[in-house]
């Protein structure tokens, strides 16, 4: 059926509408982060662009400035509270270490496991696969209390290592299953051709098959990174002094009021590392996510 | 270069035996085609020779050395797979150089070998490309290049042409044969395509259900099939088979089938009353409009150009005749078919084996 001009326009409009609906909260959040408190809390009207942009929220959360000083500098005497509690630089570093660390560990372990599950026949292989899958059935909150105790006695509570381990545990099953399907897409003949060419099992894995599933590895890494970056519950229970971003942000809601400016500034900044990470692996990612359908 | 000897090889997967005691001698420099329908065990046999699957019992020797437990890389073989099995992330050059890079050969030696292989296979302009930038035929050549740089004693081909389109298949067939002439390495080639087998092989091995049905030169197998299976499997359109009983008509032996009498040569080693299957290839049935032969009713006429395929009903059975004569025939026409006496095959209906004529 030929599409009429109107239909085409309507479809474009619908697409723009959908994107708009999804993007608006992000836009509003980013906008809020540049607003002075008076614009955020204006109860008489919705403030879009008629405010004087301020970088106070970023200066406090990302650069550790004292709001009191900044307020005096800018002639705003409304705010007085101290700076230390809102300086989020250590949080960003903790979050990055935990997310990158757990992603790296997950991807390394999962790639090896997935290759083995895809290629090697061993006793209990199917049972093992089911067992991996079953790890996803249970919500993390069901195990949180024993994990807290275990980590406490192991000295892993309130450590980055502890968080890396726990995020890895949560991510591993899905990463293994996902990567296995990518390995399954590479015909076993390729392994055999390499075997005849004289490659050892590890050389086949490292030099032949793994480079062929780069896209899948990238896609898996993105999922793991985003999960770890946004993980809240386990971090909340397992840490005191170390704070990952989602936990840190909740501390901005205090008994004396919610610091919406800081929350939005940190929230907006928190998108950036994920964004950069996805940009880095984007080329691989598109291939990874469409690998199954583009088989040659 | 080396001979390959397969001695009473059996291969089972769990309780299912798929190769039942196959023995085969492949001479040095021979081009042997393993031919058979899907599931006949031909690919398994090839993989067993390659060492990709362990054998359950028996012996395999390559160049006089028993290789039963040797790793594939130590068997001095090279294999070309049906789906090419190229290393998708490497260039054509690296695909071919990979085995030598693993052996840590000097770079200039590797380059010399790859360049040599590329020139034989007309791949020189494509050495820097990746497999995905090549056509099917070129990919197949890369797979062959990867095999020949290793200078193997035996080439193993596993249905290498089945992913190519018809025209390219014919072309690659010739190329593989030329390659064999140039390198005169022993080749074991698996296919289910009888035309490939007939055109390329020195020796065809016909397999069915994990058993060798017949081994012979292509024309030998075509002209003198050892049994009913080979007779029907080789040749297209396939051999006409008519069931009947031997009788004598005026002292001449005939086969009574579908209400007609099919003549037999006097030399046929059959007795009156014996049940037989009478086989004759379509091109050995001469259609005429009158006179000798047995009657048939034309059902379909297929002119192919060089010849005409005539499908006709004899009693309840359809048979096929091929002629180069430009006969004007319409469906429904009555014709007579004259079998060539010296080209008749008789089979025992119970065992399927040939009966001497």
The CB density around residue A129, as the number of other CB atoms within 10 Å, is 14
State whether B126 and B207 are in the same domain. Answer: yes
The domain containing residue B44 runs over which residues?
4-233
Percent of chain B at pLDDT > 70 equals: 99
Secondary structure element (H or E) that encloses residue A226, with its range: helix A214-230
State whether B277 and B226 are in the same domain. Answer: no
Under an 8 A CB cutoff, do A196 and B102 touch? no
b (16+ CB within 10 A) / e for A235-251: bebbbeebbbbbbbbee
Phi/psi for B232 (5° steps) reads -80, -30
- Residue that the structure tokens 């939005």 belong to: A264
State whether B258 and B330 are in the same domain. Answer: yes
Question: If pLDDT is split at 50, 70 and 90, which confidence band does A293 have?
Answer: very low
Under an 8 A CB cutoff, do B83 and A211 touch? no
B334: left (phi over 0), alpha (psi -120 to 50) or beta: beta
The CB density around residue B111, as the number of other CB atoms within 10 Å, is 15
Of B218, B233, B248, which residue sits at a domain end? B233
Partner residue opposite B103 with nearest CB, options A196, A198, A212:
A198
CATH at residue B319: 2.40.50.140
State whether B265 and B225 are in the same domain. Answer: no
Secondary structure element (H or E) that encloses residue A270, with its range: helix A260-290
Collapsed DSSP state (helix, strand, coil) of residue A257? strand
Total of domains in chain B: 2
Q: What's the pLDDT at B285?
A: 92
- Residue that the structure tokens 């067993």 belong to: B48
Substitution target from A196, A201, A295 for chain B, most B beta carbons within 10 A: A196
Say if CB B220 and CB B51 are below 8 A apart. no
State whether B194 and B145 are in the same domain. Answer: yes
State whether B130 and B248 are in the same domain. Answer: no
Please enumerate in sequence order all residues whose Cβ is within 8 A of that of A5, keeping only pairs 6 or more positions apart, or say none: none
* A291 pLDDT above the threshold of 80: no
CB-CB neighbors (< 8 A) of B103 in chain A: 198
Substitution target from B74, B78, B89 for chain A, most A beta carbons within 10 A: B89
Give the residue extent of every domain in chain A.
22-85, 88-249+281-294
Of B214, B233, B252, which residue sits at a domain end? B233
A185 touches chain B (CB under 8 A): no
The answer to whether the pTM exceeds 0.95 is no
Question: If pLDDT is split at 50, 70 and 90, which confidence band does A42 have?
Answer: confident
State whether B10 and B68 are in the same domain. Answer: yes
Under an 8 A CB cutoff, do B81 and A192 touch? yes
Q: What's the pLDDT at A12?
A: 92
Burial of B101 (0-12, 13-18, 19+ CB in 10 A): middle
Mean pLDDT over residues B93-102, rounded? Answer: 94
* Chain B nearest-CA residue for A188: B85
Say if CB B276 and CB B321 are below 8 A apart. no
Q: Mean pLDDT over all residues of chain B?
A: 91
Instruction: Encode pLDDT of B22-52 as tens digits.
Output: 999 999 999 999 999 988 999 999 999 999 9
Instruction: Encode pLDDT of B318-336 as tens digits.
Output: 999 999 988 888 899 899 9
Mean pLDDT over residues A271-286, rounded? Answer: 80
Q: Please tell me what DSSP assigns to residue B353.
A: B
State whether B189 and B289 are in the same domain. Answer: no
CB-CB neighbors (< 8 A) of B78 in chain A: 196
Closest CA to B296 of B244, B262, B247, B333: B333
B107 touches chain A (CB under 8 A): no
Please enumerate in sequence order all residues whose Cβ is within 8 A of that of A71, keeping only pairs 6 or more positions apart, or say none: A56, A77, A78, A79, A80
C-alpha span between B191 and B199 (Å, rounded) = 12
* B163 pLDDT above the threshold of 90: no
Of B186, B216, B233, which residue sits at a domain end? B233
Under an 8 A CB cutoff, do A189 and B89 touch? no
- Residue that the structure tokens 């790859």 belong to: B114
Structure tokens at A194: 């390499």
Strands (E), chain A: 253-254, 257-258
Mean pLDDT over residues A223-232, rounded? Answer: 90
State whether B222 and B269 are in the same domain. Answer: no
Q: What's the pLDDT at B112?
A: 94
Under an 8 A CB cutoff, do A190 and B146 touch? no
Architecture of domain A88-249+281-294: Orthogonal Bundle (1.10)
Partner residue opposite A198 with nearest CB, options B73, B81, B83:
B73
Under an 8 A CB cutoff, do A189 and B78 touch? no
C-alpha span between B12 and B171 (Å, rounded) = 37
C-alpha span between A83 and A212 (Å, rounded) = 50
Question: If pLDDT is split at 50, 70 and 90, which confidence band does A290 have?
Answer: low
Under an 8 A CB cutoff, do A192 and B52 touch? yes
Q: What's the pLDDT at A75?
A: 46
* B357 pLDDT above the threshold of 80: no
Q: What's the pLDDT at A84?
A: 61
Q: How far apart are the two ends of chain A, measured CA to CA in Å?
A: 30
CB-CB neighbors (< 8 A) of A199 in chain B: 73, 98, 102
Under an 8 A CB cutoff, do B81 and A189 touch? yes
Partner residue opposite A196 with nearest CB, options B79, B87, B88:
B79
State whether B191 and B257 are in the same domain. Answer: no
b (16+ CB within 10 A) / e for B126-156: bbeebbeebebbbbbbbbbbbbbbbebbbbb
State whether B180 and B307 are in the same domain. Answer: no
C-alpha span between A224 and B228 (Å, rounded) = 62
State whether B172 and B254 are in the same domain. Answer: no
Question: If pLDDT is split at 50, 70 and 90, which confidence band does A77 have?
Answer: very low
Compute, in degrees rounded to 10, the torsion defined by CA atoms A85, A91, A93, A95: 180
B311 touches chain A (CB under 8 A): no
A37 touches chain B (CB under 8 A): no
Partner residue opposite A196 with nearest CB, options B77, B83, B132:
B77
């Amino acid at each position: 059926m030929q599409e009429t001009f109107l239909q085409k326009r309507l479809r474009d409009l619908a697409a723009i509408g959908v994107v708009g609906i999804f993007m608006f909260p992000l836009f509003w959040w980013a906008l809020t982060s540049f607003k002075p408190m008076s614009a955020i809390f204006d109860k008489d009207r919705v403030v879009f662009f008629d405010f004087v942009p301020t970088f106070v929220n970023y200066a406090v959360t990302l650069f550790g400035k004292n709001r009191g000083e900044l307020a005096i500098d800018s002639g705003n005497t409304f705010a007085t509270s101290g700076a230390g509690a809102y300086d989020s630089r250590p949080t960003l570093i903790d979050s990055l270490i935990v997310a990158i660390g757990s992603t790296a560990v997950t991807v390394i372990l999962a790639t090896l496991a997935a290759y083995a599950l895809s290629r090697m026949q061993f006793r209990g292989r199917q049972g093992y696969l089911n067992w991996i899958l079953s790890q996803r059935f249970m919500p993390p909150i069901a195990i949180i209390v024993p994990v807290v105790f275990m980590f406490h006695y192991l000295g892993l509570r309130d450590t980055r290592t502890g968080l890396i381990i726990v995020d890895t545990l949560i991510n591993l099953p899905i990463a293994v299953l996902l990567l296995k399907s990518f390995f399954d897409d590479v015909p076993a003949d390729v392994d055999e051709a390499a075997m005849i060419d004289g490659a050892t099992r590890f050389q086949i894995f490292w030099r032949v098959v793994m480079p062929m599933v780069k896209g899948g590895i990238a896609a898996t890494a993105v999922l793991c990174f985003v999960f770890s970056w946004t993980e809240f519950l386990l971090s909340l229970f397992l840490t005191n002094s170390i704070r990952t971003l989602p936990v840190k942000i909740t501390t901005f809601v205090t008994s004396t009021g919610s610091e919406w400016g800081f929350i939005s500034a940190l929230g907006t900044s928190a998108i950036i590392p994920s964004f950069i990470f996805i940009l880095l692996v984007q080329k691989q990612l598109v291939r990874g996510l469409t690998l199954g359908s583009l088989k040659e | 270069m080396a001979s390959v000897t397969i001695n009473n090889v059996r291969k089972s997967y769990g309780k299912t035996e798929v190769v039942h005691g196959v023995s085969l001698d492949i001479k040095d420099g021979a081009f042997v085609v393993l031919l058979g329908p899907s599931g006949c065990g031909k690919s398994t046999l090839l993989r067993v020779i390659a060492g990709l699957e362990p054998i359950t019992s028996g012996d395999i020797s390559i160049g006089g050395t028993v290789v039963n437990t040797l790793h594939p890389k130590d068997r001095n073989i090279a294999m070309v797979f049906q789906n090419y099995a190229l290393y998708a992330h490497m260039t054509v050059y690296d695909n071919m150089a990979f085995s030598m890079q693993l052996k840590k050969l000097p770079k200039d030696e590797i380059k010399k070998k790859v360049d040599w292989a590329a020139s034989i296979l007309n791949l020189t302009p494509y050495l820097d490309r990746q497999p995905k930038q090549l056509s099917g035929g070129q990919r197949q050549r890369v797979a062959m290049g990867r095999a020949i740089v290793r200078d193997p004693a035996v080439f193993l081909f596993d249905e290498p042409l089945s992913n190519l389109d018809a025209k390219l298949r014919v072309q690659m067939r010739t190329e593989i044969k030329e390659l064999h002439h140039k390198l005169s390495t022993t080749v074991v080639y698996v296919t289910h395509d009888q035309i490939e087998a007939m055109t390329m092989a020195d020796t065809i091995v016909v397999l069915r259900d994990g058993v060798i049905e017949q081994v012979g030169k292509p024309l030998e197998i075509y002209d003198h099939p050892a049994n009913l299976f080979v007779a029907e499997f080789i040749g297209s359109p396939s051999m006409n088979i008519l069931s009947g009983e031997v009788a004598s008509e005026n002292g001449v032996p005939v086969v009574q089938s579908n209400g007609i009498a099919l003549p037999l040569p006097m030399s046929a080693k059959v007795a009156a009353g014996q049940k037989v299957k009478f086989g004759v290839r379509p091109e050995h049935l001469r259609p005429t409009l009158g006179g000798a032969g047995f009657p048939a009713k034309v059902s379909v006429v297929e002119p192919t150009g060089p010849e005409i395929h005539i499908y006709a009903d004899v009693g309840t059975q359809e048979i096929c005749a091929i002629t180069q004569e430009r006969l004007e025939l319409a469906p429904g026409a009555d014709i007579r078919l004259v079998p060539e006496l010296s080209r008749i095959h008789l089979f025992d209906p119970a065992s399927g084996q040939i009966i001497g004529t």
